[in-house]
Amino acid sequence: MQLSEKEIEIVAHEAVATSFVIERFDVPEQLSSLMFRLDVSDHPIDIALIYDSQYNLRAELTGISSKKRFIISEDEMIASNGTKVGTIPAGEWLMALQIAGKPQDKHWACRYTIEGFRSDDII
């Protein structure tokens, strides 16, 4: 089931050294995995941090320069590198993205999709 899909844009000012984007999304009960898809414009994401509804860091990924897909899961055989395996608690989760430096042409864009899966779904 799709939980969230959005396109984010940043227009940088001259004095900006780093830009941050914080996105919130709701996770329903009884999910066993979350799949994230990020599609980044010309300027890469230096670091992406995902926090669960209990503010535990669940993913830390660096150097995302184009398309990236990763999975946070209860099952270590499904979970991607850079993610923490464990229960997927319901509630509001956070995704923080850091874009260092000034985006080319002072413009940065990213499209993301987040999908949730139950234990009997095929990923």
At 110, the amino acid letter reads C
Cβ pair 17, 56 in contact under 8 A: no
- How much of the chain is in helix, strand and coil states, percent to nearest 5? 0, 60, 40
At 68, the amino acid letter reads K
pLDDT tens digits for 24-75?
A: 999 999 999 999 999 987 778 899 999 999 999 999 999 888 899 999 999 9
Backbone dihedral angles phi then psi of residue 105, each to the nearest 5 degrees = 60, 20
User: What DSSP assignment string belongs to 73-98?
Assistant: ESSTTTSPTTB--S----EEEEEEEE
CA atoms within 13 A on the CB side of 95: 24
Annotated domain spans of the chain:
2-117
Cβ pair 8, 109 in contact under 8 A: yes
Confidence of residue 115 (pLDDT cuts 50, 70, 90): very high
Cβ pair 123, 71 in contact under 8 A: yes
**In angstroms, what is the C-alpha Rg of the chain?**
15
pLDDT attached to residue 16: 54
Confidence of residue 101 (pLDDT cuts 50, 70, 90): low
CATH for 2-117, options being 2.60.120.380, 3.20.20.80, 3.30.70.60, 3.90.1420.10 = 2.60.120.380
Q: Give the percent of the chain with pLDDT over 70.
A: 82
Does pLDDT of 20 surpass 70?
yes
